[in-house]
Amino acid sequence: MNDIERKIKINGVKSGILLGLIITGLSIASYYFITSIIKSAVLFVAGPIIFSIFIPIFCVVFFCFNARKSIGGYWTFKQATTGIFTMFLIAYVVQFIGKSIIFDKFIEPNGIQKTQTAAINAKAAILKQRGNNQAAIDKDIAEMKKEFGQQQNTSIGSVIQGIVISILFMFLLALIFGSLFKREPPVYTNQV
């Protein structure tokens, strides 16, 4: 049993590294998609959903099936949750280092401002399509700028709080995926 637990954790680390690299690549692609490629307000909303939700969920499902298959096709709820949580935790660390530190600090240090500008432009385009007058559009854009200004003032406490909330959310997702992907080994009984 100890050997299976070790395989689950090793597979969780390997899958987590791959998932983290995939999510990092998708978030960078989403950034460029939002800030420079698209001009449509609809794509501004749909693009990040595809990049940050649908493709990663597909990858997680693939990695869960692959992990279960690598240990013989059966794992308990605890084993599934442990492997999936390990994968999520490692993926979070890889994504945090790759996107939040390396990309945001060194490659695109003005990325937040570019994203905010793209969001404001998309919001203005949506409001214009709905037929709102310019005063209402200016009021909504001023509110968005105020919210963006408040988000930029982050402290160490809020960063730590965000990390803790992310870890708790990952554990909750690991419990959900663990319950979905558990597969108990069959129990054979001898009948007399």
Decide if 101 contacts 27 (C-beta within 8 A): no
Is 64 domain-assigned?
yes
Is 134 domain-assigned?
yes
Overall number of domains in the chain: 1
Has residue 39 got a pLDDT over 80?
Answer: no
Has residue 132 got a pLDDT over 80?
Answer: no
Beta bridge partners, 183, equal: 75
pLDDT tens digit string along 157-175?
888 998 999 999 999 999 9
**Which of 18-22, 26-30, 169-173, 176-180 has the lowest average pLDDT?**
26-30
Is 29 domain-assigned?
yes
Neighbours of 189 (CB within 10 A): 5
Computed over every residue of the chain, the mean pLDDT equals 85
pLDDT tens digit string along 45-99?
677 788 888 999 999 999 999 999 998 888 899 999 999 999 999 999 999 999 9
Domain limits at 96? 2-181
Residue 42 confidence (pLDDT): 63
Tokens of 18: 């791959």
70/119: higher pLDDT: 70
Is 135 domain-assigned?
yes
The contacts of residue 179 (CB under 8 Å, 6+ apart) are: 77, 80
Is 192 domain-assigned?
no
Residue 1: band (very low, low, confident or very high) from pLDDT cuts 50, 70, 90: low
Residue 180 confidence (pLDDT): 93
Has residue 192 got a pLDDT over 60?
Answer: no
Taking the C-alpha atoms of residue 81 and residue 75, their distance in angstroms, rounded to an integer, is 10
The backbone torsions φ and ψ at residue 131, rounded to the nearest 5 degrees and listed phi first, read 90, 20
Has residue 21 got a pLDDT over 60?
Answer: yes
Is 187 domain-assigned?
no
Where b means 16+ CB within 10 Å and e means fewer, 12-24 reads bebbbebbbebbb
